[in-house]
Amino acid sequence: MRVMVLYMAVKKLLSIVIPTHNRSCYAVACVQSLLEIDSRQFQVVVHDTSDDDCGLAAWSATQDDSRLCYVHWNGRLSMTENHERAVALAEGEYVCVIGDDDSVSSRIIEVAEYAKANEIDLLTPVIKAIYSWPDFKTSFLGSAHAGKLYLGKVTGKIAKKSCQTSIQDALNNACQGTEGLPKFYHGLVKRSCLEKLHSDTGAIFYGASPDISASLGLALTNEYYYVIDFPFTIPGASSGSNTGRSAVNKHKGDIKSDPHMIPFRNLSWPKELPYFFSVETVWGHAAWETLKQRSPDSLSGFNLNRFYAVCKVRHSDYKVAIGKAASGLVASNDKRYSSSASVLAQVKFVIELTITKLKRILHPTASNGMDVYGPFENVRYARQALDAKLDIEASAKGWCFNEKGSNE
């Protein structure tokens, strides 16, 4: 189902957009952390499809703050539809989408001001701040991350990047993540860029992963973007999130029965991709559907050998589905895939994973060299701690953003 988007008039510098479903235990603290920021230049949009006790709805009703735009949608929407409707409510000249267990630094306002003053349409942060909720666990370290805020060294440098190069790199990597692409999820995107995406095809998001779809769409419709080494957002990790499920290897299953996928009505699944639910296949699906809508010729560059290598190594329990799809590619003489090339790609991927695991063994710490703060009860207090730390650094170093392009 395509959503008719009617964009709101521009009234703010920035809109922070949060699509959510049945996660009030995280979302209340997330929204609270945003409304505590001392600025009237931004808006908080929450589009909530919850069908549980709707604690977020009850809490939002008690807030007397004109910056909060809370909408409760009666009826289940797919993640993509929820994002589409949420973004349509944004009144900011710049828009940033975050998850319901995330937050932002109060300095996002001056970052947006900098982007506007320097005519930057797409600004993507290097992830330097990460918060793990108290219930977050991983297979490797258990609950070692619980409640911790991690902060890496911040330089404030800004670099200009080619969107064409980012697209090619993404295709070579079978679009496995948004690294190296302009980000809408935890990035700043000028409203005009979103309006162009929608005017071109009638929607911003396609497929089962809104963040992958938006990143590819922005890269396909812009010449360049900027990357800033500064944590103006705080990605959160909680047990109920996709990140949390992945951390304990539970983010996989049957497409028809997985809670993430059930709301996708009349889902079209490319025959070129194995038919099962996982992080990798969802990313691949979103990329495939986005390319099909926005740049069909680019599908010829999608690295199916890499994609199948990743699936075979990470999801041997779905070897039947993987084998069936691979056999179909061979039978149709699809030039993008060959059994021998896939084996070589698989060997390469195993080597990459082995190197990563060896690094973990040699340095078995949760912080991975980052500064650690906390534990904190929720992302609200983690955001306060991050801002306090950034204030200290700014005061000590006379810190400010570097000139545009100074680190190109």
What are 354-387's pLDDT values in tens digits? Answer: 998 888 777 766 677 789 999 999 999 999 999 9
* Token code pair at residue 7: 């964009």
Q: Indicate the pairing of strand 12-20 with strand 122-125.
A: unpaired
Q: Report pLDDT for 305.
A: 97
Amino acid at 33: S
pLDDT tens-place values along the chain, 408 residues long: 444 444 677 889 999 999 999 999 999 999 999 999 999 999 999 999 999 988 999 999 999 999 999 999 998 899 999 999 999 999 999 999 999 999 999 999 999 999 999 999 999 999 999 999 999 988 777 888 999 999 999 988 899 999 999 999 999 999 999 999 999 999 999 999 999 999 999 999 999 999 999 999 999 999 999 999 999 999 999 987 665 455 445 667 899 988 889 999 889 999 999 999 999 999 999 999 999 999 999 999 999 999 999 999 999 999 999 999 999 999 999 999 999 999 999 999 999 999 988 887 777 666 777 899 999 999 999 999 999 999 888 777 666 654 444 434
Report whether 181 contacts 216 (CB < 8 A).
yes
Rounded to 10 deg, the angle between the 79-88 and 210-220 helix axes is 60
Using alpha carbons, list the distances in angstroms from residue 390 to 105, 231, 249, 282, 399.
9, 9, 34, 36, 9
Q: Report pLDDT for 397.
A: 67
DSSP one-letter code for 204:
S
Q: Report pLDDT for 350.
A: 97
Q: Report pLDDT for 362.
A: 76
The helix/strand/coil state of 152 is: coil
Q: Report pLDDT for 3.
A: 45
Nearest to 43 by CA among 111, 119, 108: 108
The helix/strand/coil state of 26 is: helix
Report whether 197 contacts 101 (CB < 8 A).
no
What are 240-275's pLDDT values in tens digits? Answer: 766 545 544 566 789 998 888 999 988 999 999 999
Q: Report pLDDT for 9.
A: 77
Q: Domains in the chain and their CATH numbers?
A: 12-242+371-397 (3.90.550.10)
Peptide bond into 259 cis (omega under 30): no
Q: Report pLDDT for 369.
A: 78
Q: How far apart are CA 308 and CA 316, in angstroms?
A: 11
Q: How far apart are CA 344 and CA 304, in angstroms?
A: 12
**What predicted TM-score, i.e. pTM, was given to this entire model?**
0.92
Q: How far apart are CA 293 and CA 201, in angstroms?
A: 7
